[in-house]
Amino acid sequence: MFEGDRAGLQAAYRIARDRELTLAPFVHAMFATGRYEANRAVFRAQPADDLDLVGIALHGPKRAVDKAVKGLSLHP
């Protein structure tokens, strides 16, 4: 799980999506629902090109992940 400012997270999300990495994005509204299905609904309600990201988890080849998350920090 990585964290960073909104612009950094959005850039990482776009790079990861373009490189077809496995993504687990977390938007701010998800922390108000408490339920998995509700989390999915609030994520889908976000505009795809302007997600209110607060964190992102990625899986894929090390080099591709490293390029996507360059400048972000691991969540403690």
> For the whole model, what pTM was predicted?
0.82
**pLDDT over 90 (residue 59):** yes
The residue count for the chain: 76
CA–CA gap between residue 36 and residue 65 (Å, rounded): 25
Residue at 71: amino acid letter:
G
Residue at 48: amino acid letter:
A
- Of the candidate CATH numbers 1.20.1260.10, 3.60.15.10, 3.20.20.10, 3.40.1490.10, the domain formed by 2-74 belongs to 3.40.1490.10
Residue ranges of domains in the chain: 2-74
pLDDT level of residue 65 (50, 70, 90 thresholds):
very high
Mean pLDDT taken over the chain: 90
CA angle centred on 61, ends 4 and 16, rounded to 5°: 45
Q: What is the pLDDT of residue 4?
A: 87
CA–CA gap between residue 41 and residue 33 (Å, rounded): 10
Interval 59-73 mean pLDDT: 94
